[in-house]
């Protein structure tokens, strides 16, 4: 999903008489910094940068190894920071990436967006846009410790005079265990639900369902994991920008309390070679979802000159496909599969 | 690609007043066996069954372990035999599968087929069809030994009176090394070229190019492997059925001489942990092609009640994704990547 924002900017921005939003934003940052009165673009950028630092720092404490940080800039404004930890003590592979994209949307993309965002002019030929997001996938070594995925993003289109046109937030987080500990599932869902409830009591049930429906390996009739929340296209038709930003902030800030207690409990648990193999098979399912069903990944990979390594950072370091593997009846492995076939209510 | 034939039969055959081709074929086999005068359906079925036995027997000699054989039948005629060897001495995973499908094509599939096969009635609402194919993927343990893929298939549609309507052959084979030995590439291509040349001197160059264009990880700008041949829709517009069957037979029979000398030379070569890791990364690319770009796999996985395990038998037992991995300049790993970026003429 996060891949969308890396790869949307396939066309170079059209040269306009008025300054582009990238130019405006650069100027404003230089002259007056970022405050509560700044455009949402700059506030979201600042927020995800802070969050990336905080999350990376916490994960380094958990792992004991440092992330490799790659910073890249885009020619026409924006850029990103990829933080990846590979072959750690706790994490097999952990990626926490942010990206800021200024670009121009082609006609086909505009038409798709109008389905959800009527503020976009139907007759316009091309459209300046801004996207900022934080994407994270953590694959722990220990099969008792679950994989987690998170993505929060902000999208905006600009009028030809450079003022803001349509905007929306999207995001979510979900947990993918190889061995299911009910207490972990409950803790994860409860932490997210609490973050949602502060803003709208309807959010958690609605976005939990959306998550259960989206992260499914349809060809196997099973969910990728035990869910969490997922939402997209949250715009002014629901709530004002300030409230929606506050919700996205709560969601992203809930990550550390939702996951750190789980990883601390599981990272040093004993496990057998057989349990490690089961984890590898579940990793294979993760790859299947991301490569076969995830819209963002597909979109990204089909975009010329996409940053393939950033898009595929979500894949595990190792995975396995074992022909006709069937868990034993009544086993813990079978119990996980049963839950993946029929999503539960955890809180 | 082989997945197509597993999954085409999504609709139950319509009950007709005349016997279905499945019923006719079953009757004929019972009453008079299969001879050169039998319908092509029965001859192709017999041919791929023989070939599967012969190939499995040879591969068991190479590996020293036995294949696991699963036989399945379809309710309305047809069935298959999956032969899989996993955790062998030489092969990490080796699958040699055949399938025979009798079914009815829905309207949408008929329209797609008419693009290539004008013999199909444009106004027909549904169409009985037959498909038979042999699919094989071998993933050796030793990183010096290449992965090989092969698929040969025959397709036929029936008139409402049960007589044969359109027919065509498709197939090919291609080699995917992690470490490139020019002599292996030359031997593989030369053996296939010889098989092609016996039938039509234009086949090898034409089908080699088709292969180079099809097996490409477009998102990475590199071929899956060093190619071979690939063809589809070979029908009466090219040559008669007898000649085309003879060509498909030569192609499939060329497999053992094309691959056995290579695996014998490479299976016991010494290798380092680093070389094994490179193989795992190349395996990851194999997974990417099969899950992201292969039309047969996508089609299969998106078909309700597909035999997922048979379709995904092509995936390696183990694979790896290492963030931003770059081979050293001038290394053997880099040389492979260079060749994958620009396909060579090997003979």
**DSSP assignment of A50-114, as one string?**
HHHHHHHHHHHHHHSSPPEEEEEE-TTSEEEEEEEEES-SSEEEEEEEEEEEEEEE-HHHHHHHH
Sign of the torsion angle spanned by Cα atoms A280, A282, A285, A287: negative
Q: What's the CA gap between B84 and B89, in Å, rounded?
A: 14
Taking a contact as any Cβ pair under 8 Å apart, which residues of chain A between 144 and 203 contact chain B? none
Contacts of A187 (CB under 8 A, 6+ apart): A258, A261, A262
Three-state DSSP class for residue B57: helix
Residue A303 is predicted with a pLDDT of 66
H or E segment to which residue B93 belongs: strand B91-105
| Minimal Cβ distance to A313: which of B312, B315, B323 | B323
| Mutation choice for A interface testing from B72, B323, B326 by most A CBs within 10 A | B323
Q: What's the CA gap between A184 and A265, in Å, rounded?
A: 9
Q: Is the pLDDT of residue B96 over 90?
A: yes
| Mutation choice for B interface testing from A280, A321, A337 by most B CBs within 10 A | A321
Cα-Cα-Cα-Cα torsion B62, B63, B64, B66, nearest 10 degrees, comes to: -110
Instruction: Write a three-state SS string for A215-251.
Output: CEEHHHCEECCCCEEEEEEECCCCCCHHHHHHHHHHH
Higher pLDDT, B150 or B13: B150
* Mean pLDDT computed over B134-151: 97
H or E segment to which residue A127 belongs: strand A127-140
Contacting residues of B for A321, CB less than 8 Å apart: 93, 312, 315-317, 319
Q: Is the pLDDT of residue B158 over 90?
A: no
Smallest CA-to-CA distance from B278 within B205, B179, B198, B194 is with: B179
* Alpha-carbon gap: B96 to the closest alpha carbon of chain A (Å): 12
Contact of B225 with chain A, judged by CB distance below 8 Å, is answered with: no
State phi, psi for B261 to the nearest 5 degrees: -60, -35
Residue B117 is predicted with a pLDDT of 85
* Alpha-carbon gap: B284 to the closest alpha carbon of chain A (Å): 9
Ramachandran sector of residue B305 (left: φ over 0; alpha: ψ -120 to 50; beta: rest): left
Q: What's the CA gap between B280 and B266, in Å, rounded?
A: 17
* Alpha-carbon gap: B323 to the closest alpha carbon of chain A (Å): 6
Identify the band that residue B186 occupies on the pLDDT scale cut at 50, 70 and 90: very high
Structure tokens at B333: 């790993």
Cβ within 8 Å, pair B313-A323 = yes
Cβ within 8 Å, pair A93-B323 = yes
Cβ within 8 Å, pair A317-B322 = yes
Q: Beta-carbon neighbour count of residue B76 at 10 Å?
A: 15
Cβ within 8 Å, pair B219-A306 = yes
Cβ within 8 Å, pair A219-B321 = no
pTM of the model: 0.92
Per-residue pLDDT tens digits for B279-297: 999 999 999 999 999 987 8
Closest A-chain CA to B313? A323
Q: Helix, strand, coil shares of chain A as percentages rounded to 5? A: 45, 25, 35
Q: What's the CA gap between A96 and A198, in Å, rounded?
A: 26
| Distances from the Cα of B240 to the Cα of A40, A103, B245, angstroms | 68, 55, 9
Q: Beta-carbon neighbour count of residue A244 at 10 Å?
A: 21
Contacting residues of A for B93, CB less than 8 Å apart: 321, 323
Cβ within 8 Å, pair B308-A218 = no
| Mutation choice for B interface testing from A141, A297, A306, A323 by most B CBs within 10 A | A323
Residue B85 is predicted with a pLDDT of 97
Identify the band that residue B5 occupies on the pLDDT scale cut at 50, 70 and 90: very low
Q: What's the CA gap between A39 and B150, in Å, rounded?
A: 57
Per-residue pLDDT tens digits for B49-63: 999 999 999 999 999
Inter-chain CB pairs, A–B, below 8 Å: 81
| DSSP codes joined into one string, B125-189 | S-EEEEEEEEEEEEEESSTTSPEEEEEEEEEEEE-TTS-EEEEEEEEEEEEE-SS--HHHHHHHH
Residue B110 is predicted with a pLDDT of 82
Contacting residues of B for A319, CB less than 8 Å apart: 287, 318-321
Q: Is the pLDDT of residue B78 over 90?
A: no
Give the catalytic positions of B in this structure. Answer: 149
Closest A-chain CA to B67? A323
Residue A232 is predicted with a pLDDT of 93
Q: Would you write out chain A's pLDDT as a tens digit for each of its 347 residues?
A: 344 444 444 444 445 567 788 888 888 888 889 999 899 999 999 999 999 999 999 999 999 999 999 998 877 778 899 999 999 999 999 999 999 988 888 777 788 888 888 888 877 777 888 999 999 999 999 999 999 999 999 999 988 777 888 999 999 999 999 999 999 999 999 999 999 999 999 999 999 999 999 999 999 999 999 999 999 999 999 999 999 999 999 999 999 999 999 999 999 999 999 999 999 999 999 999 999 999 878 777 776 666 888 889 999 999 999 999 999 999 999 999 999 999 999 99
Q: What's the CA gap between B66 and B43, in Å, rounded?
A: 27
* Percent share of chain B, pLDDT over 90: 70
Closest A-chain CA to B139? A321
User: Are residues A252 and A152 in contact, defined by beta-carbon separation less than 8 angstroms?
Assistant: yes
* Alpha-carbon gap: A178 to the closest alpha carbon of chain B (Å): 17
Cβ within 8 Å, pair A308-B70 = no
Report the mean per-residue pLDDT for chain B.
90
Per-residue pLDDT tens digits for B259-270: 999 999 999 999
* Mean pLDDT computed over B75-86: 89
Give the catalytic positions of A in this structure. Answer: 149
Contact of A85 with chain B, judged by CB distance below 8 Å, is answered with: no
Contact of B123 with chain A, judged by CB distance below 8 Å, is answered with: no
Contacting residues of B for A309, CB less than 8 Å apart: 323-324
* Alpha-carbon gap: B301 to the closest alpha carbon of chain A (Å): 5
CA-based diameter of chain A, in Å? 69
Structure tokens at B81: 């035999």
Least confident residue range of A5-19, B83-97, B156-170, B227-241: A5-19
């Amino acid at each position: 999903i996060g891949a969308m924002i890396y790869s949307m900017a396939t066309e170079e921005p059209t040269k306009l008489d008025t300054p582009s939003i990238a130019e405006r934003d650069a100027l404003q940052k230089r002259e007056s910094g970022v405050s509560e009165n700044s455009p949402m673009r700059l506030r979201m950028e600042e927020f995800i940068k802070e969050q990336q630092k905080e999350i990376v720092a916490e994960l380094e404490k958990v792992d004991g190894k440092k992330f490799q940080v790659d910073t890249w800039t885009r020619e026409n404004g924006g850029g990103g920071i990829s933080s990846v930890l590979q072959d750690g003590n706790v994490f097999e592979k952990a990626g926490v990436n942010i990206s800021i994209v200024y670009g121009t949307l082609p006609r086909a993309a505009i038409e798709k967006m109008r389905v959800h965002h009527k503020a976009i002019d139907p007759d316009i030929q091309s459209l300046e846009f801004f996207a900022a997001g934080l994407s994270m996938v953590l694959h722990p070594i220990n099969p008792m410790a679950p994989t987690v995925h998170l993505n929060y993003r902000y999208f905006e289109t600009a009028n030809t005079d450079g003022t803001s046109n349509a905007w929306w937030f999207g995001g979510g987080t979900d947990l993918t265990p190889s061995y299911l500990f009910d207490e972990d599932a409950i803790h994860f869902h409860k932490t997210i639900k609490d973050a949602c409830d502060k803003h709208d009591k309807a959010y958690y049930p609605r976005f939990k369902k959306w998550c259960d429906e989206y992260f499914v390996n349809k060809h196997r009739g099973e969910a990728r994991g035990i869910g969490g929340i997922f939402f997209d296209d949250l715009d002014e038709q629901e709530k004002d920008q300030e409230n929606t930003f506050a919700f996205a902030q709560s969601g992203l800030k809930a990550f550390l309390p939702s996951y750190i207690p789980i990883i601390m409990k599981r990272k040093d648990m004993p496990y057998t070679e057989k349990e490690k193999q089961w984890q590898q098979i579940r990793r294979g399912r993760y790859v299947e979802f991301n490569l076969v069903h995830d819209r963002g990944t597909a979109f990204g990979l089909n975009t010329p000159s996409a940053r393939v390594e950033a898009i595929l950072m979500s894949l595990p370091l190792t995975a396995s496909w074992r022909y006709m593997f069937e868990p034993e009846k009544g086993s813990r492995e079978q119990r996980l599969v049963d839950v993946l076939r029929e999503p539960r209510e955890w809180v």
